[in-house]
Amino acid sequence: SISFDNTFYGLSNKREVFVTFLLELLLINCFTSTEIFFFYIFFETILIPMYILIGVWGSQKNKIFAANQFFLYTLFGSFFMLIAIIILYTIFGSSNLFLLKSFVIDNNLENLLFVLFFVSFSVKVPMFPFHLWLPKAHVEAPTVGSVLLAGVLLKLGSYGFLRYSLFLFPQASLYFAPIILAICVVSVVFSSLSTVRQIDLKRIIAYSSIAHMNYLIAGLFSNSLLAIAGSLLLQIAHGLSSSALFLCVGFLYERHKTRNIFYYRGMVTLMPFFVFYFFFFSLANLGFPGTVNFVSELLLFVGLLETNFFAQC
C-alpha cells in the first residue's frame, strides 16, 4: 500500500503514511492481545485512523458520509462487546482470555455473552443485515484504505469469532450454530446477487468480499475441523487476492479517473501484462483450480457437507 502511494504521489503525504502505519500497529496489537479489555481498546481505536483515511483521503464526493457510516456501524457493534466485558469482569474479576477459560460459565450467561460478542463481530465481518457500510467504505476509501480494509480489517471479525466466541463459549456456539449458518447463507446469496448488478469495480470486489467472509464464518461454526482449516486458509487467500485486486483497481483509477467496468473494454490491447495480473487475481478470488482459494473453499465445502450443513440451515 505504501509502495502504491509512493509510485503515484511520492512520500510527500507524510500524514497519510503515518496514519497507515498507526493503523497497522493497532491491528498487530489486536491480533496479539490476550486481555479482552485491551483487545476492545485496540478494536475501538482502529476506528480513528480508518475514519481519517476514508474521510480525509477518500477519492469520492461522499467520503464523509461513508466514513461516518463506517464509524457509527462499528461503534454500535462494539458497544455490545463492552457490555459483555463488563459482565465478565464483574462476575469473574478478570479479562484475561486464558483465565476466563478456566471458569465454569452458566449456560444462560454463556448464551447472553455469546450473543453480545456475536453482534459486535458480525458488524466487522460484516454479516447481513450489518453489511451496508462496507461497499460504501470501499468506494470512498483511498487505495491504501481499501487494501487494509479487505486484507486485514475484515479479518478482525472472523478472528474474534475464532479467538473469543468459539474459545470462551463453545456450548453457546453449538447452540446458535444453525441460526448463524442460516444468516451466512442469506448473506452469501444476497451479496452474490448484488455483485452481479454492480458496474463499479470496487463495489464488485466489496460485495464479493462479503460473500467470501460469510462463507468462511459458516465454516468456523460448522463444528468440522476440515471446514475450520478451510476457513483459516481462506482468510489468508482472500486477504491476498482481494488486496491485489484493489491495488489493480487503484492503478486503473489513478490513470483513467473512473472505475466504471464498461470503460475498460479492450484493455488487453493497451496493457497486456496488467490485464494478465488482473485476470490472474480475479481467477484466484473466484476460487479457480490451482489457486489457494480453490483449496480453501474445497476444504470448506467438504467440511460443511460432513456436518450436514444444508439440513441445519
Gap between the Cα atoms of 201 and 258, Å rounded: 9
Chain segment 146-183, per-residue pLDDT in tens:
888 888 888 888 898 988 888 888 899 889 988 998 89
Gap between the Cα atoms of 145 and 66, Å rounded: 12
pLDDT of residue 114: 93
Contact 138, 203 (CB under 8 A): yes
Chain segment 2-60, per-residue pLDDT in tens:
555 555 555 546 777 788 888 888 888 888 888 888 999 998 888 888 888 888 877 76
Gap between the Cα atoms of 137 and 73, Å rounded: 11
Supply the DSSP string of 141-162, one letter for each residue.
S-HHHHHHIIIIITHHHHHHII
Grid coordinates of 239: 486477504
Chain segment 45-72, per-residue pLDDT in tens:
888 888 888 888 777 677 888 888 888 8
| pTM for this prediction | 0.85
Count of C-beta atoms within a 10 Å radius of residue 258: 13
- Segment holding 25, helix H or strand E: helix 14-32
Contact 87, 117 (CB under 8 A): no
Average per-residue pLDDT in the chain? 85
